[in-house]
Amino acid sequence: MWNGQWMIVAVAVLLSLTAVTEGRDFSDLQGPYCAGRQSRCCPDRRDDCSVPILGTRCYCDDFCNRTNNEDCCPDYWKVCLGMDWNPAPLGRCYYNGQYYNFNEAVKINCNLCKCQQAGTRVELLCEQNVCLVEPEIISRVNTGGYSFSWRASNYSTFWGRRLDEGISLRLGTLQPQKAVMRMRPLTPVYDHRRLPRSFDARNKWHGLIEGVRDQGWCGSSWALSTVSVASDRFAVMSQGLEKVQLSAQHLLACNNRGQRACEGGHLDRAWLFLRKFGVVDEPCYPYTAGYGFLERCRLPKRSNLLTARCKPPSHPQTVLRTDLYRMGPSYRLGSEQDIMYEIMESGPVQATMKVYPDFFLYRSGVYHHSGNGPSGYHSVRIIGWGEEVTQREPIKFWLVANSWGSQWGENGYFRIRRGVNECEIEDFVLAAWADTHVQSVPTRPPTLNNQLSNVI
Give me Rg for the CA atoms of the chain: 29
Burial letters 366-391, b for 16+ CB under 10 A, else e: bbbbbeeeeebbbbbbbbbbbeeeee
Give Cα separations from 122 to 36, 112, 114, 303 (angstroms): 24, 16, 10, 64
**What integer best gives the mean pLDDT of the chain?**
88
pLDDT digits (tens, 9 = 90+) for 128-142: 999 999 999 999 999
Pairwise CA distance, residues 51 & 46, whole Å: 12
Pairwise CA distance, residues 202 & 205, whole Å: 5
327: helix, strand or coil: strand
Of the pLDDT bands very low, low, confident and very high (cuts 50, 70, 90), residue 444 is low
pLDDT digits (tens, 9 = 90+) for 225-256: 999 999 999 999 999 999 999 999 999 999 99
Rounded to an integer, what is the distance from CA 248 to the centroid of its chain? 18
Residue 20 has pLDDT above 50, yes or no: no
Pairwise CA distance, residues 266 & 223, whole Å: 9
**According to the model, what pLDDT value does residue 313 have?**
78
- Phi and psi dihedrals of 77, rounded to 5? -65, -35
Structure-model confidence comparison of residues 64 and 264, the more confident one = 264
**According to the model, what pLDDT value does residue 230 have?**
99
Structure-model confidence comparison of residues 319 and 244, the more confident one = 244
**According to the model, what pLDDT value does residue 5 have?**
38
pLDDT digits (tens, 9 = 90+) for 256-314: 999 999 999 999 999 999 999 999 999 999 999 998 678 899 999 889 999 999 988 76
Pairwise CA distance, residues 108 & 114, whole Å: 10
**According to the model, what pLDDT value does residue 9 have?**
36
Least confident of 62-76, 167-181, 397-411: 62-76
Pairwise CA distance, residues 255 & 404, whole Å: 22
**According to the model, what pLDDT value does residue 66 have?**
75
* Kind of pairing between the strands at 376-388 and 199-200: antiparallel
Burial letters 30-51, b for 16+ CB under 10 A, else e: eeebbbebeebbbeeebeebbb
CATH architecture type of domain 145-455: Alpha-Beta Complex (3.90)
- Whether residue 123 contacts residue 116, with contact meaning beta carbons closer than 8 Å, is answered with yes
Percent of the chain surpassing pLDDT 90: 68
Rama region for 121: left / alpha / beta (φ>0; ψ in -120 to 50; rest):
beta
**According to the model, what pLDDT value does residue 108 have?**
96
Model's pTM, two decimal places? 0.80
Pairwise CA distance, residues 329 & 275, whole Å: 6
For residues 312-336, average pLDDT? 86
- Whether residue 300 contacts residue 324, with contact meaning beta carbons closer than 8 Å, is answered with no
- Whether residue 169 contacts residue 219, with contact meaning beta carbons closer than 8 Å, is answered with yes
**According to the model, what pLDDT value does residue 19 have?**
34
pLDDT digits (tens, 9 = 90+) for 186-216: 999 999 999 999 999 999 999 999 999 999 9
For residues 319-327, average pLDDT? 89
Sign, CA dihedral 322-323-327-328, equals negative
Q: Which amino acid is at 321?
A: R
**According to the model, what pLDDT value does residue 319 have?**
67
Cis before 32? omega within 30: yes
Residue 94 has pLDDT above 80, yes or no: yes
Which helix (H) or strand (E) segment holds residue 385: the answer is strand 376-388
For residues 9-31, average pLDDT? 42
For residues 37-57, average pLDDT? 89
- Whether residue 85 contacts residue 31, with contact meaning beta carbons closer than 8 Å, is answered with no
For residues 63-89, average pLDDT? 75
- Whether residue 132 contacts residue 362, with contact meaning beta carbons closer than 8 Å, is answered with no
For residues 339-367, average pLDDT? 98
Which helix (H) or strand (E) segment holds residue 249: the answer is helix 248-254
Of the pLDDT bands very low, low, confident and very high (cuts 50, 70, 90), residue 71 is confident
117: helix, strand or coil: strand
- Phi and psi dihedrals of 351, rounded to 5? -135, 150
**132: number of Cβ within 10 Å:** 23
**According to the model, what pLDDT value does residue 392 have?**
86
Provide the residue ranges of all domains of the chain, joining segments of one domain with +: 8-126, 145-455
Nearest 5°: the CA angle 359, 362, 368 is 60
**According to the model, what pLDDT value does residue 440 have?**
58
